[in-house]
């Protein structure tokens, strides 16, 4: 007998638009110093994010001596770690990434490298790090033995990939709706946003960006050894990503169409990058003045060099936005998995997590990521899927806030965006949606006390518990009382009084799912509608109703 399990399929969903919420001065918005500031509406808090490097997994304690090394060999542990990395198929063959104790130690190594049979492929002096190639590991082993005090880390140079999207037939059964050119409206962008992002630079670390008209004269590029790219079909990924962040032409307008774009190609001709090259790109972008660095690439392996470079960017005040990955995985790719990175997942036009979007405890926010209309080399428009598209929409949103709120830093803006994201899924932060789905309209109106937007944030089915949650959120700049939630649960209707809600506050009403009725009928319908009290004018009534079905499916 085949197993059966219920599946929630949203049928209709009001667009998550905008409103104002908790009073908070831009100067006090936590993405500064060592920790996030706690936020009463459920935004980022000290225990959640930016706790230095503590969010990163530590390498296993390896004490086994490397082949040919005795138990007393101080370099044995590092060599063992390197050998473990090199056995990983995701590590470049014949390469290592080395970190040294000091600038002097690095200088000594560079002076003797060629004589030792090692080829220096790249150097990051600020991290005392070097990428080396070798034909035989013996040369590196001998140098580590002879100079054990010089080394602090030795690891593989792992591949970094453009996230792939699973083939449609491999996705779970789910009714998904794409955006086309509707992503900005979904994010609460209304009216003229042509000045958003002005004066802010967004770096795109990708396959290069084609100099299309949608970027005007706001595009420049820096070559870090991979060429400039961006003009061929194989390089289209970077162009599509850049347009979602900062395109200005009709049909390919980004969230920050006035922002400057700095293109740094980090992929080779095969469309693949690596940890060391990515770290070089981050440093180049930050040193060139980029306040926001978008990385729509990922790897499932990390390294000390990438971790240290993320810290470098953070200390310089920059924000890294990164795609969470498209593997339907319960973990994020690196660098999105780092707690100091604004990691981004994907939703469809119904507000549900797309079937391919990765989940993870460090997920920051979600944004549109299905069938996004964007630019492509040759002045084409294409439909673009994946968290690769979600991440630049968030990068542009941060730039937009910086340009519209005087004195707001990139890190403050990232905090603000999370603080005023639209709750989704289970109430509060969760691995599938992070702090919520980006609602740029609400974030733009965070200090507008006259703005009113009450909403049904989500209609969330907890399959393991057999419960349906109806989550109400006040996205207004003022407290709201007198709301009524009308619920129809599998044919049973009821009206529920919603308690007084402060700006940004959430309230959840839960009903049990009748499993016997579900088994008998195969499908149960659920709908909800939120009614405002007389005299309260909701400036976004579209998000005041939802409908969904729990369907018994056969596995």
Among candidate residues 440, 436, 336, the one with its CA nearest the CA of residue 388: 336
* Residue 311 sits in the same domain as residue 196: yes
- Helix residue ranges, H only, 425-514: 440-444
Where is the domain boundary, 101, 128, 147? 147
pLDDT in tens, 47-71: 333 333 333 333 333 333 334 444 5
Question: In the block, which residue shows the tokens 């009524």?
Answer: 484
* Residue 349 sits in the same domain as residue 432: yes
Instruction: List CB contacts of 235: < 8 A, sequence separation 6 or more.
Output: 207, 208, 210, 229, 265, 377
Report yes or no on 54 lying in a domain. Answer: no
Looking at residue 235, what is its pLDDT?
83
Domain that holds residue 126: 91-147
Distance in angstroms (rounded) separating the CA atoms of residues 289 and 287: 5
* Residue 414 sits in the same domain as residue 526: no
pLDDT beyond 90 at 21:
no
* Residue 455 sits in the same domain as residue 437: no
Where is the domain boundary, 147, 166, 195? 147
Least reliable range by pLDDT among 27-41, 68-82, 197-211, 266-280: 27-41
Looking at residue 426, what is its pLDDT?
79
- DSSP bridge pairs for 541: none
Backbone angles phi, psi at 406, to 5 degrees: -55, 135
Q: pLDDT-derived band of residue 44, with 50, 70 and 90 as boundaries?
A: very low
> Active-site residue numbers?
206, 237, 388
Give me the CATH number covering residue 133.
3.30.1370
Give me the CATH number covering residue 529.
2.60.40.10
Q: Is 380 helix (H, G, I), strand (E, B) or coil?
A: strand
Report yes or no on 535 lying in a domain. Answer: yes
Averaged pLDDT, 316-325: 98
| pLDDT top residue among 73 and 440 | 440
Among candidate residues 259, 271, 196, 239, the one with its CA nearest the CA of residue 381: 239
* Residue 254 sits in the same domain as residue 396: yes
| pLDDT top residue among 407 and 554 | 407
| HSE-CB of 511 using CA atoms within 13 angstroms | 22
Q: Write b or e for each residue in 144-175: b if 16 or more Cβ atoms lie within 10 A of its Cβ, otherwise e.
A: bbebeebbebbbbbbbbbbbebeeeeeeeeee
Q: pLDDT-derived band of residue 35, with 50, 70 and 90 as boundaries?
A: very low
Answer whether 36's CB lies under 8 Å from 44's CB. yes
pLDDT beyond 60 at 142:
yes
| pLDDT top residue among 79 and 172 | 79
Based on the structure, what is the number of domains in the chain? 3
Angle at Cα 311 formed by Cα 78 and Cα 208, nearest 5°? 100
Answer whether 325's CB lies under 8 Å from 363's CB. no
* Residue 257 sits in the same domain as residue 353: yes
* Residue 243 sits in the same domain as residue 354: yes
Q: How far is CA 411 from CA 291, 317, 434, in A?
A: 9, 7, 17
Looking at residue 100, what is its pLDDT?
97
| Element spanning 233, H or E | none
| pTM reported for the whole predicted model | 0.83
Q: Is 543 helix (H, G, I), strand (E, B) or coil?
A: helix
Among candidate residues 522, 524, 517, 529, the one with its CA nearest the CA of residue 552: 522
Cα 462 vs. chain centroid, distance in angstroms?
25
Report yes or no on 63 lying in a domain. Answer: no
Average predicted confidence (pLDDT) for the chain: 85
Q: pLDDT-derived band of residue 20, with 50, 70 and 90 as boundaries?
A: very low
pLDDT in tens, 79-88: 999 999 999 9
Averaged pLDDT, 430-450: 93
* Residue 407 sits in the same domain as residue 506: no
Distance in angstroms (rounded) separating the CA atoms of residues 179 and 372: 6
Looking at residue 460, what is its pLDDT?
86
pLDDT beyond 80 at 492:
yes
Q: How far is CA 443 from CA 5, 24, 91, 201, 397, in A?
A: 38, 11, 41, 20, 9
Looking at residue 554, what is its pLDDT?
58
- Helix residue ranges, H only, 250-320: 275-287, 304-315
Structure tokens belonging to residue 235: 């390089």
Report the share of the chain in percent with pLDDT over 90.
Answer: 68
* Residue 377 sits in the same domain as residue 425: yes
* Residue 341 sits in the same domain as residue 228: yes
Distance in angstroms (rounded) separating the CA atoms of residues 189 and 184: 5
Where is the domain boundary, 442, 471, 492? 442
Looking at residue 555, what is its pLDDT?
53
Averaged pLDDT, 482-505: 94
Looking at residue 16, what is its pLDDT?
33
* Residue 367 sits in the same domain as residue 462: no
| HSE-CB of 136 using CA atoms within 13 angstroms | 6
* Residue 470 sits in the same domain as residue 343: no
pLDDT beyond 90 at 236:
yes
Strand order in the sheet with 342-347: 219-222, 260-265, 201-206, 292-295, 319-323, 342-347, 365-368
């Amino acid at each position: 007998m085949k197993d059966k399990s219920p599946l929630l399929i949203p049928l209709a969903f009001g667009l998550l638009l905008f409103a104002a919420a908790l009073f908070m001065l831009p100067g006090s918005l936590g993405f500064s110093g060592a920790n996030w500031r706690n936020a009463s509406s459920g935004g980022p808090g000290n225990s959640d994010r930016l706790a230095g490097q503590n969010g990163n997994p530590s390498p296993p304690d390896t004490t086994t001596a490397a082949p040919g090394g005795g138990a007393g060999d101080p370099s044995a542990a590092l060599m063992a770690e390197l050998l473990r990395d090199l056995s990983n198929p995701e590590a470049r063959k014949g390469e290592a990434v080395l970190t040294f104790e000091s600038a002097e130690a690095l200088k000594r190594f560079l002076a003797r490298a060629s004589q030792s049979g090692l080829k220096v492929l790249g150097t990051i002096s600020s991290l005392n790090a070097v990428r080396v190639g070798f034909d035989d590991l013996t040369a590196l082993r001998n140098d580590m033995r002879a100079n054990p005090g010089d080394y602090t880390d030795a690891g593989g140079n792992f591949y970094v990939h453009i996230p792939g999207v699973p083939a449609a037939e491999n996705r779970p059964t789910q009714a998904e709706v794409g955006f086309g050119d509707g992503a900005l409206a979904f994010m609460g962008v209304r009216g003229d946003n042509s000045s958003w992002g002005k004066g802010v630079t967004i770096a795109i670390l990708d396959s290069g960006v084609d100099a299309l008209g949608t970027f005007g004269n706001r595009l420049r590029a820096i070559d870090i050894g991979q060429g400039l790219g961006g003009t061929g079909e194989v390089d289209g990924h970077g162009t599509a990503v850049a347009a979602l962040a900062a395109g200005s032409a009709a049909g390919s307008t980004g969230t920050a169409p006035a922002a400057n774009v700095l293109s740094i190609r980090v992929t080779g001709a095969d469309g693949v990058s690596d940890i060391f090259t990515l770290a070089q790109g981050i440093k180049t972008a930050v040193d060139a003045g980029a306040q926001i660095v978008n990385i729509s690439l990922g790897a499932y392996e990390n390294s000390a060099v990438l971790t240290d470079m993320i810290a470098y960017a953070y200390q310089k005040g920059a924000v890294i936005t990164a795609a969470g990955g498209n593997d339907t995985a319960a973990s994020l790719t690196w660098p999105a998995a780092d707690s100091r990175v604004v990691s981004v997942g994907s939703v469809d036009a119904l507000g549900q997590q797309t079937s391919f979007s990765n989940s993870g405890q460090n997920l920051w926010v979600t944004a549109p990521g299905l069938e996004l209309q964007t630019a492509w080399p040759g002045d084409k428009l294409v439909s673009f899927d994946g968290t690769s598209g979600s991440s630049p929409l968030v990068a542009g949103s941060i730039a937009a806030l910086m340009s519209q709120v005087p004195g707001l830093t990139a890190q403050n803006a990232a905090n603000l965006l999370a603080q005023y994201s639209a709750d989704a899924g289970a109430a509060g932060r969760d691995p599938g949606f992070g702090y919520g789905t980006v609602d740029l309209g609400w974030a733009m109106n965070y200090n507008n006390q006259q703005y009113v937007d009450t909403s049904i944030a989500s209609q969330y089915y907890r399959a393991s518990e057999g419960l349906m949650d109806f989550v109400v959120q006040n996205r207004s700049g003022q407290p709201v009382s007198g709301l009524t939630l009308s619920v129809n649960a599998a044919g049973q209707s009821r009206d529920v009084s919603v308690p007084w809600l402060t700006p940004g506050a959430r309230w959840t009403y839960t009903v049990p799912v009748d499993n016997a009725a579900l088994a008998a009928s195969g499908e149960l319908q659920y709908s909800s509608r939120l009614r405002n009290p007389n005299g309260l004018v909701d400036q976004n009534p579209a998000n005041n109703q939802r409908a969904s079905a729990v369907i018994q499916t056969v596995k």
